[in-house]
Amino acid sequence: MTLLEGLLDRPTPAAPRDLTLRRGAARVLIGNWTGASTVPSRTLYPHQWSWDSAFVAIGQRHLSARRAQRELESLLAAQWGDGRIPHIVFNPAVAAGAYFPSPDFWRSSRAGRTAGAPPAPQTSGIVQPPVHALAAWLVHRADPAESRRRGFLARVHPRLTAWHDYLLTRRDLGGRGLAAVVHPWEPGMDNSPCWDRALTRVEPAAPGTFRRADLDHGHPADRPTDLDYGRYVRLAADYREAGYDDRAARHAFALEDPSFNALLITSELALAAVSRELGRPHERHTLRAGLLTRALVERLWDEEAGLFRARDLHDGTLVEEDSVSGLIPLLVPHLPEDLVRRLRATLRGPRFTAPATELVPSYDLTGHAFDQHRYWRGPAWFNTAWLIHQGLRTHGLDQDAERIREGFLDQAQRSGFAEYIDPATGAGRGARHFSWTAALALDLLCADPEELRT
């Protein structure tokens, strides 16, 4: 019996579409498995990415809880001494030129030595959104007996605690309790218009000093511009030259992002659940989630806009751009009821109701910078749709959640598990056989809808 046959030799949803989807998603995850972790795609992203692995584990748990645990364990093995989980863990078997910035650019083991970067494997020096504790808790719940037998939660708990401590101390650059991002790649929404104003402060790296490997696999019209990429390279190089020291670095780019902090709140609550399961004190995590929720509302809610906005720490102002990041705080369980109503109205209004998909556009459809093709400047992504679906379920908005779920599953199948969707045509764009699309489709097929409410 092959691994695929073994994974599929289990009870499956009865609907033909759902059975086909389950099989297709399993094939994607098996095909992108490297032996210890899962690459986002075999072409454009040939290494391990941080929040991708968390989403993969959430879906993988429905096929193999053991493999889902290994996905997270392999990522956490690359954690730095200061607690950060790097956004890329490099596979030494992959050619150096297959992806840029490569290990030779980041120089993690040398430049990050003071911050506790491991000697191996090589990693990047920046981070991505903290989905990991939520993923660990959901993976445990998928097979508690296997989790306890392997001591899974006991082993990941201290690493997840150190990760959250890093974000809530070294990354509280505004001094008001929220974690800041210091590079557009950190919130995971690389070229969102939310970052445009801050990026004008960054002198781009000269074009001849780097080569973009992403354009070998993606159309230039879909990808960030050369100007933006030059600024990304400059920010990363400056951070590297400061030894990846958050206190020593002069951050030309530093923002409090609503999605990043909403995921931190959700993961703090998950870490409280992990602590309770282990018989350890959990009150600190519950308290921190409450304080973060209060800071999120006080610092980032924009009443007039009807959603959350990023705050630029350079001048202390809210960024006047509306993106999907401002809707993801629906995940937070103890938001004021009036904010939940406003977020739902915004989600269903003209700014985020796409003509060709139930997925949520990454940027305001009526906004000045909307681009239906270009990465995070308009296309609708499957991972953000999953997060908003979970948020709607959290607040009992089940009909809205079900509409997103059905749209997600239909377009995951039609697009060949695409990276993202053109909101105007419904066409799949970016990479195909994309791991988090497959994993989260599995989760929507198989998970208990009440899971995040309990």
Active site residues: 190, 419
CA-to-CA separations, 178 to 263, 298, 336, 443, in angstroms, rounded: 12, 11, 18, 29
Is 254 in contact with 180 (CB distance < 8 Å)? yes
SS3 317: strand
The residue among 142, 73, 84 whose CA lies nearest residue 108 is: 84
C-alpha 206 chain-centroid distance: 29
CA–CA gap between residue 115 and residue 205 (Å, rounded) = 25
Containing H/E element for 429? strand 428-429
The residue among 115, 188, 103, 164 whose CA lies nearest residue 286 is: 164
Is 319 in contact with 255 (CB distance < 8 Å)? yes
| Continuous H helices in 371-428 | 382-394, 398-414
CA–CA gap between residue 438 and residue 435 (Å, rounded) = 5
| Continuous H helices in 61-95 | 65-76
Locate 443 and state its tokens: 């989760």
